[in-house]
Structure 1
Amino acid sequence: MSRRAALVGQLGAAIAQHELVPGAVLDPEAIAARHGVSRTVVREALRTLETLGLVTARQRVGTVVQPVAAWNLLHPDVIAWRGRGADAPAQLRELTRLREAVEPAAAELAAEHADPDQLAALHDAVERMRAAAAAGDVAAFAAADAAFHALTVTASGSAVLAQLLGTLEAALRSRYAHELPVFGAAGTRSLEQHAALASALAQRDGQLAADITRRIVRETGERLGAHDAG
């Protein structure tokens, strides 16, 4: 990892986790000294953070931390930074709602547009999930799960939904960042649902695919406490 990327991660996390509060003016010289990097690296890092909406440069003031409303909350890096701070529960609820809105629509479209190679890849992802579950390999299960959902979005053929793919993958990763058992009865049910979804897509049943996807996301959200009571 480059020094610029490392500094972006450190400052981004500090802002996203409210260690640096909105309105705070960042001192490039102090940042350079604290992190042992050049002023050039600091300037490049701050420009990157500005593209994410976390800071803004103001004449005669300097670089100022922006309020949450200005942040690119759909960017994977911002999602990751917020997911390690006090905003994690609220973000999880928001991302679960986003997944509930987007992924069923993607599945319905995928039932119509998926090509044979994509359908085969979906079944392969299910088999990799199954093998990982049998081996108790959480990392392999998470990777296969992420691949399955990414394939569904890609197979939708929607350029608009494809632009949300990074956001959806980050949302899925946030699910595994919580200390929630992956396997057991709930994991078995999730695996069965993914297999059923792959079959529905192969059968070109868009309504069934959307319904199954909605259940997968909702039940995961309920297990994570990402749905409000009632």
Structure 2
Amino acid sequence: MNQSQHGQTKLVIELLMDRMHESGQLRRSHPPLRLVKEKKMGHGTRRKRGLDFMGALCGLILCLPVLVILGVLIKLSSRGPIFYSQDRVGEGGKIFRLYKLRSMYINADGIKAQLMAQNEVSGPAFKMKHDPRVTPIGRFIRRHSLDELPQLWNVLKGDMSLVGPRPALVDEVKKWNTAYFQRLKVPQGLTCIWQTSGRSNLSFESWMELDLEYVNKQSISLDLKLILKTITVVARGTGAY
């Protein structure tokens, strides 16, 4: 983690702690970086990490030909790199670099502010059904979540899990209600209940509620069920744009 990412991690954790102090959930005597303290891996945690590692490794091997083909199509369809990366907030508020296949034109981040008035979701998130920043090939790979395939590398590294709440942007986390910080108690993931229940067709509040439901009910059996269900949803392109 570089100095900038460490600073952002500290900022997110301090914000989280301040919010929880204000709501009476934490005492002032608690150490400021308690939530990012190294924790021991219990039996369930080791099993989940084992599932993540083997699943991500197999997934990357199987998807390698698809990644090569999509990489060529991305380069042919628009100017710019094949991959796109950005800082996201992981478990305990740690910042990590998330990877995607590039699905937008290279000036996408620069014009996002101009499109905020057309945001189609409530809360601190941004989504547009007909986002002009998305490339032609980008619309296809986003519909079927193929742009997320490079995150198997994030899972392999331990930044993410196969199943868990989707990692949010730093600026989005800063605007969360206190209750939403409970999402950071578990590894953030590639898929979760939200992804199998309508995705972008759901409101931001419903999205958060489903993520908190996962935090409370998480188990290896639930993870396996959600992985299988995600394959069907992604193949159909349900609720994605």
Range class of TM-score, shorter chain: under 0.3
TM-score normalised by the chain length of structure 2: 0.25
TM-score normalised by the chain length of structure 1: 0.26
Larger relative helix fraction: 1
Flag the structure with larger Rg: 1
